[in-house]
C-alpha cells in the first residue's frame, strides 16, 4: 500500500516540496505519494484531522501554519519546543509527533554543502521570526565564537534568545562590527527590500547566506557582494536539507540532496 505525505500551507502553489520528496522517493525506492494542501487560514486543525482520517502519515508545514502545528502536536522535540514552531509532523495512532528541521537543514547546508564551519566563527543572524527561532539552537550547538541576533524590535530578539549564549542588538548597534558569516532570516528579500544592515558587517565575512530562495541576487546578497564577500548562497540548500531530514525521520533512510539542489538552484545574478 502506498503511503501518503503532504505539505500544508497557504498559499501553496509555489511549493517545491512535492518535487523534492518525489525525487527522494524515487532515488531511495520508497513507495509513497506526496501532495500539497492549501489549508484554510483559520482551519489548520480541521485540515490536519482530515488528512489523518484519509490515512496520511506525515506533514510538512509551511507558512502560515507553523505555530498552529506547534499547538496541534501531542509530542514536541526539544528543537521544536525551543523554536516555538513546527515544520514537520508524523502521525502514529492518536499521537502527533512534531519537530523543526529548518535550523538543522540550514546548518548542514552551510557546513556540509558550502564547506563553512560555524565552530569558532563570529555569526550574525538577522531577524527574530520563525526562521531565526528555528536556527538559533542548531547554530549554538556548533559552538560559534559569537552569535549575534539583530532585529528591528529588540524585545522580540531578547525573548527568542532568553537563556542562551546568543547576544541581541538593534540594527543600529551593528555599525562598526564585522562577522565571519552573515545570515539573513528576515522577510525583506521576499519584498525585494534590504534589511537595515550596515555594509560594515561584511568587512571580514566569508559567507553571506540568504534564507529566501529562487530570488537571484537579492538586495542583501548584492550588498554583501559589493562589500567584497566572495561566497554567496540562497536558501535552496536549506530547503533540500530540511526536507531530507524530515524524509529520514519518516522513512528511516536519508536521501542524497545534491541532485535536487542542482535542479532547483537559480543563478545568483
pLDDT tens readout for residues 33-84: 999 999 999 999 999 999 999 999 999 999 899 999 999 999 999 989 988 8
* The predicted structure's pLDDT at residue 63: 87
249 membership: H or E segment, kind and range: helix 236-251
User: What are the two backbone dihedrals, phi and then psi, of residue 88, each rounded to the nearest 5 degrees?
Assistant: -155, 140
181 membership: H or E segment, kind and range: strand 181-184
**In angstroms, rounded to a whole number, what is the distance separating the alpha carbons of residues 194 and 172?**
14
**In angstroms, rounded to a whole number, what is the distance separating the alpha carbons of residues 149 and 113?**
24
What is the DSSP-derived secondary structure letter of residue 13? T
DSSP string of 126-177, one letter each residue: E--SHHHHHHHHHHHHT--SEEEEE-SSHHHHHHHHTTSS-EEE-GGGGTT-
Low-confidence ranges of the chain (pLDDT < 50): none
- Please state whether the peptide bond connecting residue 64 to the residue before it is cis, i.e. omega within 30 degrees of 0: yes
User: What are the two backbone dihedrals, phi and then psi, of residue 182, each rounded to the nearest 5 degrees?
Assistant: -120, 125
Q: Which of 66, 90, 94, 263 is catalytic?
A: 66
The set of cell numbers assigned to 54 is 484519509
* CA 189 to chain centroid: 15
User: What are the two backbone dihedrals, phi and then psi, of residue 55, each rounded to the nearest 5 degrees?
Assistant: 100, 5
Structural domains present in the chain: 3-100 (3.40.50.10860), 103-236 (3.40.50.720)
SS3 state at 112: helix
| Percent of all residues in the chain with a pLDDT value above 90, rounded to a whole number | 91
* The predicted structure's pLDDT at residue 1: 84
Any catalytic annotation for residue 94?
no
Amino acid at each position: 500500500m502506498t503511503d501518503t505525505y503532504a505539505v500544508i500551507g497557504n498559499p501553496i502553489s509555489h511549493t517545491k516540496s512535492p518535487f523534492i520528496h518525489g525525487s527522494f522517493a524515487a532515488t531511495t525506492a520508497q513507495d509513497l505519494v506526496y501532495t500539497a494542501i492549501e489549508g484554510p487560514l483559520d482551519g489548520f486543525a480541521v485540515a490536519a484531522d482530515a488528512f489523518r482520517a484519509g490515512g496520511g502519515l506525515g506533514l510538512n508545514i509551511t507558512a502560515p501554519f507553523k505555530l498552529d502545528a506547534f499547538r496541534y502536536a501531542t509530542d514536541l522535540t526539544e528543537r521544536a519546543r525551543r523554536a516555538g514552531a513546527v515544520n514537520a509532523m508524523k502521525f502514529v495512532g492518536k499521537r502527533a509527533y512534531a519537530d523543526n528541521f529548518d535550523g538543522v537543514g540550514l546548518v548542514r547546508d552551510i557546513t556540509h554543502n558550502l564547506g563553512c564551519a560555524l565552530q569558532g566563527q563570529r555569526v550574525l543572524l538577522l531577524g527574530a521570526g520563525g526562521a531565526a527561532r528555528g536556527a538559533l539552537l542548531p547554530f549554538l550547538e556548533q559552538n560559534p565564537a559569537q552569535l549575534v541576533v539583530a532585529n528591528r524590535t529588540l524585545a522580540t530578539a531578547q525573548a527568542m534568545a532568553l537563556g542562551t549564549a546568543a547576544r541581541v542588538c538593534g540594527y543600529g548597534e551593528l555599525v562598526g562590527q564585522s562577522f565571519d558569516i552573515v545570515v539573513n532570516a528576515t522577510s525583506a528579500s521576499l519584498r525585494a527590500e534590504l534589511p537595515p544592515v550596515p555594509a560594515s558587517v561584511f568587512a571580514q565575512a566569508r559567507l553571506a547566506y540568504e534564507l529566501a530562495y529562487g530570488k537571484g541576487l537579492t538586495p542583501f546578497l548584492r550588498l554583501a557582494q559589493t562589500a567584497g564577500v566572495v561566497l554567496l548562497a540562497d536558501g535552496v540548500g536549506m530547503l533540500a536539507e530540511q526536507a531530507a531530514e524530515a524524509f529520514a525521520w519518516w522513512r528511516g533512510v536519508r536521501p542524497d540532496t545534491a541532485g535536487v539542489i542542482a535542479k532547483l538552484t537559480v543563478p545568483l545574478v
